[in-house]
Structure formats: structure tokens, C-alpha cells
Structure 1
């Protein structure tokens, strides 16, 4: 039986011990252990179907059909690949969606300004670009003042240039806020550009765990970056493709 503890953030901000989750008798997470430290940016990689998003949903409190022990901070927020904005609510109201009490519009405006979207506060979601919608989703997460920010492939549907801008925004927000971040991604380069720790999930457990001890801002052509990229690709069962000269 799972123990869901909403405790203080001294020590690990997340502690998972013996976590298991099955679907129709098939284990997707199988006796998994994991600890995340306060302020740490962690990237979680793995092949499709390995359980990455399931683990994130468990940490977010969206999936409780689990066994094991789970310690997470009470203040946590999640942003998905699809922004999931309510089309009948203006952007600022979407940002406040789900917050307890009756928060003022100024709360949403402050978060929208932080993500560079204050000028679209009163817009309808259908008028936003993909990048703008994702920034609105991030603002909705930030108003919860999370100690743990969970990101489930939030850049996957964006075009290349918008994706780069969104990655930089998330890096800036993390450095400013100082919360722990867990980013689920398929993109090894994205993981190495953003995170200071990379995990590879395989067969329902964390199969590989490495620090990303590279100076920021990071250069994908740096030898250390290339070496880490090659190792992570190998852990994912992919042969690295040599960079063009």
C-alpha cells in the first residue's frame, strides 16, 4: 500500500521506495526507487512505453493505484505537452484554474508577466500560438508556487525555433524560482542542455543515473556534452550518429 506523505522539503524533495504500478496485470513501474533533491533539475529519458509519464502522473498525484512509498511536497504542479487550456475561459482565468479560494486577477497577471505573456492575458485560448499556449500552461503551474515542477514533454508539439525559446524560458524560470524540476523528454540533447542530472528509465526502474556536470550556458559541440550524449544514447539502445564536420 502506498504512503503519500506531504512533508517539508528538508532532505530529498521527492523520495520513492519500492514503487509499483501495473495495468491489466502488466507492471509498468516495478519496484522503483528514486530521490530528487530540492532545487535540482532532473531529466527523465526512456523509450516510449517505459513508464516515464506514468511515474510523472504518480508524482503529480494523478495516479494513486500504486504500491510502495511515496514522499512528495504538497506544493507541486505539472505542465503537459498539450497545454489543456479551457477554450471558454480567457487566458488569465485559465492560469487561476484549480487554485483554492478566489485569487485576484493580479495573481495570474504576475505569472503571465514572468513567462512573457502579460499582453495576452485577456485573450481567448484559440487565438494563441502554440508557444503562447505553452507559456500560459507554465504560468498556470507557477501560480501554485511549487517546490516540485513536473514537465511531461512540454515542448514536443512546438516547432524548432519556438522549442528553443521555450527551453530557454524554462531554464530561466528554474534558476529564478529554485524549485526542483523533473522533465520527461525523449530528446537527449534537450535533457543535456537543461538538466543537471539525467535518468534513463528501463524495464520499470531507473536503469541509469548520471550528473550533467557541464558549465552553463551549454554548447552541444563541447566534448563533454558529446560524450554524455553518446553514453545516454547507448543507454537508450541507440547508436550515436557522428556530428557533421
Structure 2
């Protein structure tokens, strides 16, 4: 798997990685490859905005094919971390090793209104790989095969989000980054979208990082749930439940309650 290495940025450019015992530059990417395999390996990652440290010496590993959900209060740095992994923010200190083949889907589908759906799916691909048949295969996978020639303004919210997911999948990513992709959907459409993402992940076998505010969604989809607080991963839970998962499973309810408690939500009244 080809990887990209993002590392500390100084006024003169990216700081060379070095051996802390000798200050000798080392090939961090090659060194990491010799260790246990990881789709994502983040070490000592920090990001400061206007003097406020949003990420504070954060460490994270995601295994190949692992589905990880990231929870946390608004403003805790979840989306900042995702943007860094996507290569959209490089003003960092620390290192982030990520697959070169990665794709992002945001809460807003971000479809170009002057391009038909299939052309939106191919945005950013070079000419040799940007053919309509490839786009239609991705749209078919998310249940939008018949809407390939439609204009984005004619799509429902759920359809637009599926088109955004198809645009991510057409890149055949080793890492799929999802930034609250279901946040703007109605309840029924959201449930359908969650099931679709779970099915797509199982078919493709890529690593997934899902940023969400929905604890139930995190437990439903993820192998592991992380809670961010204070700019670091403050808590993590392995979700050792067989799939498909049931919301009525007492183990599911216990995991959900424990995570809500970590997030400072009092569930005693609901009980």
C-alpha cells in the first residue's frame, strides 16, 4: 500500500524526521512499514489555531480494513484530525502516515450543480481513469445507477449523499474518511445510509474513519469507538458485537450508555 507522510511544518518547510537519539534524519515511512501494518499511524500530532491547541500530541493507529468511529463534543478537533489525514491541512507538528489512495465524504455532498451526477463522481480523476462506465459502476453500487445522467438539483438529500459516497468509492481507497456524512439526513434516510456504508465497507475492505456525534451510529457501525477530549484520544472502546447488530441487544445498550457517560450525558432520566 503506497503511503503519504505528513510531518511537522516549520517556516522553511516540512521538518525532516529524525532519530531522537542521534538527530539523524531517518526514513520514517520505511521505518513504519517495518512495524506492524497500519492504514493510519499518527504520532505526536498537534494543531494550533489562533493560539488554541486543538490537537495536542495526539497518537492514533487504524489497522487495514478496520472501521473506527470518532466521537467528541463540538470543537474538540474531530474534523480537524480528519482534514489532516485527508491532506487538506498540513500546518501541523508531529507525523501522520496515511495511504496514498484515500477519499473523503463530508456532511454536505458538495456536488457541482453544472455537472451531471456521473461527472460529479469522476471529479478529480485524471483523463485515463475518468470514464462514464466507471462512474456508473460506483453509482450502481450505492443504488443510484438510474440517476447517473441527472442534474444534482433533482436529487433528494439521501441521493445526493449517496452520490458523494460513490465519488469516494470510485477512487478505490485504502482509507475512507467520513465527516458526519449523515448529519443532514432525516431519520429514515439516515438509517438506510448507515446500512449502505456498512455494506460498502464490508465489500471493499478499506479502513474507515467516521466522525460522528451519534453514539448509536458509532456502536452500530464501528469495530472500535474513540472519544476525543482535550485534543487527544481520551477513551476507546472495542465493539465486540457480531454483525448485523441489533439496537435491542443489551450489550449494545450497555456500550451506548458507557459512551454517553464518557461524553457527559446523563442517561439516568431515560432509564
Residue 70 (structure 1) aligns with? 96
Q: Does 1:126 align with 2:146?
A: no
Greater shift after overlay, 210-219 or 9-18? Answer: 9-18
2:244 maps to what in 1? 217
- Is it true that 1:33 corresponds to 2:41 in the alignment? no
Corresponding position: 1:19 with 2:45: yes
Matching of residues 1-245 of structure 1 within 5 Å: 1=8, 11-102=37-128, 103-241=130-268
Q: Residue 50 of structure 1 contacts residue 204 of structure 1 at CA under 8 Å; is this kept in 2?
A: yes
Q: Secondary structure at the match of 2:59?
A: strand
Q: CA deviation at 1:8?
A: 6.8
- Alignment length, in residue pairs? 244
Task: Say which SS state the counterpart of residue 48 (structure 1) adopts.
Answer: coil
Give the TM-score normalised by structure 2. 0.87
Distance 1:34 1:177 in 2: 22
Q: Is the 8 A contact 1:152 1:185 kept in 2?
A: yes
- Name the CA distance, whole Å, in 1 between partners of 2:176 and 2:101: 9
SS of the residue aligned with 1:167? helix
Change (3 A) 1:157 1:68: same
Gaps of 5+ in 1: none
The question of whether the paired residues in 2 share the 8 Å contact of 1:147 and 1:179 is answered with: yes
Q: TM-score, normalization: structure 1?
A: 0.95
Structure 2: runs of 5 or more not aligned: 1-7, 10-16, 18-27
Q: 1:15 to 1:243 in 2, by over 3 A?
A: same
How big is the shift at 1:215? 1.3
Deviation for aligned residue 1:101:
2.6
CA contact (8 A) 1:18 1:68 kept: yes
CA RMSD of aligned residues (A): 1.8
**For the residues of structure 2 that align with 1:214 and 1:100, how far apart are their CA atoms?**
41
Q: Distance in 1 between matches of 2:40 and 2:98?
A: 5
Cα distance in 1 between the residues matched to 2:61 and 2:214: 22
